[in-house]
Amino acid sequence: MDSKSRFGHGVRIFAVFLIPLLVLSNISLLVADQVSANDKQSHIMKNGFSIAGVPLENMTQEEAVEALHEVVSKIEDQDIIIVVEDREWIVPIRDINVLYDVESTVRETFSLTRDTRRQNVPLIFQYNRNAMLEILQGIANEMNTPVVNARIVKKGSKFEKLPEQIGRKINIDNSLLTIQSALGNGLQSNTIMLDLVEVMPKVVSNDIRDIDKHFASYSTFVETKDVKRIHNIQRAIEQIDAVVVKPNEILSFNDHAGPYTEANRYVVAPVFVEEVLSEGIGGGVCQVSSTLYVAGLKAGMQVLEHKSHTRPVQYVPLGYDATIIDGKYDLKMTNSKRKNLYVAFTYTDQHELIVDIYGNQGDYVEYALETRNQQEFLPDRVYHLDTTIGPYSEKTISEGEKGYKIELYRTWDQRKQEELIMQYEYKAVPQVIGVGEKHGKAKDTPENKNIQSTKPTNTNSKQVKGQLG
């Protein structure tokens, strides 16, 4: 062996999980039977049962207990030797707190039905499962090799194709079951062999074989003040990067980047809820979907599902945004080309988010986007009673925001051909004016409520489902 590692008392101990390995599946299939009167008196095992490899034939329960205690006493001073390829790890039994219950095992085994078939019953035991998991995870960290998709890397005005790499990993759940089985069977061999299983890449060289042309690129700059928003953007990129879209295949943003939950390593950041800035898990993801939306349009992809924000966003022009709400709004685009498309995402040290799309030269068409017929309109005024000011006074509570109407077109063939992508209206946000009780507009205020009761409040960030800004 090239190397050995010893896990000693440094293993952090967690709460002990009881793992009762009473009977394997073949035992559970036995049918209970009435024990004869003679057997009840003699308590002698007449069938072919054994426990942890120790034959019980013609033994009394007391004799079985004594024989098994002798076996268990030897186990408690042993080490488990875990072998993965040419590496060994030594795990002292005491470090995972293995405790055998010989008496319960014998009692349960003697209560089983008569059966002429030989049955080997595992010992009942408990151990520190979390300590064993931590050891296995440490071994996996040393032995696992990551899976790498075949990918395209941009090199200035050119690009390079890199091959895939098959990953290998230890299956921790299966390894744990193997160790539990060995312990239950009395550790008849203290050497436990674990395998590395292959993990196949999702994108292989054949998927990008015909790709020889850079189709389109679009970039946006990320606001650097909010580190949580940056985290969510980078997490979404990790989820969706290096994706191949085959002809007529649908690229769903939510299917790749979602779900937007803490379990999927997204965090709380600003989101829009009914035109109000609040906080929710996954805030910032919409900048990734918006950047992909524009790059996809410029590459000639067809839009199947798309929703703009209720208000303009700062990182793209009007009409270029694509909002996302988990389970409600998605961005879906399809590849209408004859060959595969490859979509790559990059986040630079300068906080620039870039989406590049590649395809086959024979499918290439140069597209451009144009925003036309843009209209803007001033916000309405809304009056609210404000008892904090003079009776005839008024003051501006919020300035409101302009609304916009736009049309987005895609053109090609030197603008000789075009298609309307969308018509959209970004609603104006009303200007809010507070007025005193005797102001001329006081009677027009909704239900004559005080302005302080009409201000929006933040929603619980863990429950909110807003536009992921």
Query: For 186-245, what is each residue's pLDDT tens digit?
Result: 988 889 999 999 999 999 999 999 999 999 999 999 987 889 999 999 999 999 999 999
Overall pTM > 0.85: no
The pLDDT score that the predictor gives to residue 116 is 54
267 and 193 within one domain: no
267 and 234 within one domain: yes
Which is it for the CA torsion 352, 358, 361, 364, positive or negative? Answer: negative
Q: Residue 22 — very low, low, confident or very high, per pLDDT cuts 50/70/90?
A: very low
pLDDT in tens, 264-297: 999 998 886 655 667 888 999 999 999 999 999 9
Instruction: Indicate which CATH number applies to the domain containing 405.
Output: 2.20.230.10
Neighbours of 338 (CB within 10 A): 12
On whether residue 183 sits in a domain, the answer given is yes
The DSSP string of 378-402 is PPPEEEEE-TTS-TT-EEEEE--B-
Check whether the bond before 259 is cis (ω within 30° of 0).
yes
On whether residue 268 sits in a domain, the answer given is yes
323 and 233 within one domain: yes
191 and 58 within one domain: yes
Tell me which residue range forms the domain holding 160: 43-200
Cα–Cα separations (whole angstroms), residue 2 to 6, 142, 145, 321: 14, 14, 18, 56
138 and 116 within one domain: yes
Cα–Cα separations (whole angstroms), residue 245 to 60, 256, 366: 69, 12, 19
Total number of domains in the chain: 3
Q: What is the mean pLDDT of residues 125-152?
A: 96
The pLDDT score that the predictor gives to residue 74 is 87
What is the C-alpha to C-alpha distance for residues 424 and 408, in angstroms, rounded to an integer?
8
387 and 326 within one domain: no
Which is it for the CA torsion 134, 140, 141, 143, positive or negative? Answer: positive
177 and 126 within one domain: yes
406 and 373 within one domain: yes
90 and 191 within one domain: yes
Q: Of the residues 176, 200, 224, which one is the last residue of a structural domain? A: 200
What is the C-alpha to C-alpha distance for residues 461 and 464, in angstroms, rounded to an integer?
5
What is the C-alpha to C-alpha distance for residues 279 and 268, in angstroms, rounded to an integer?
6
302 and 313 within one domain: yes
On whether residue 460 sits in a domain, the answer given is no
On whether residue 12 sits in a domain, the answer given is no
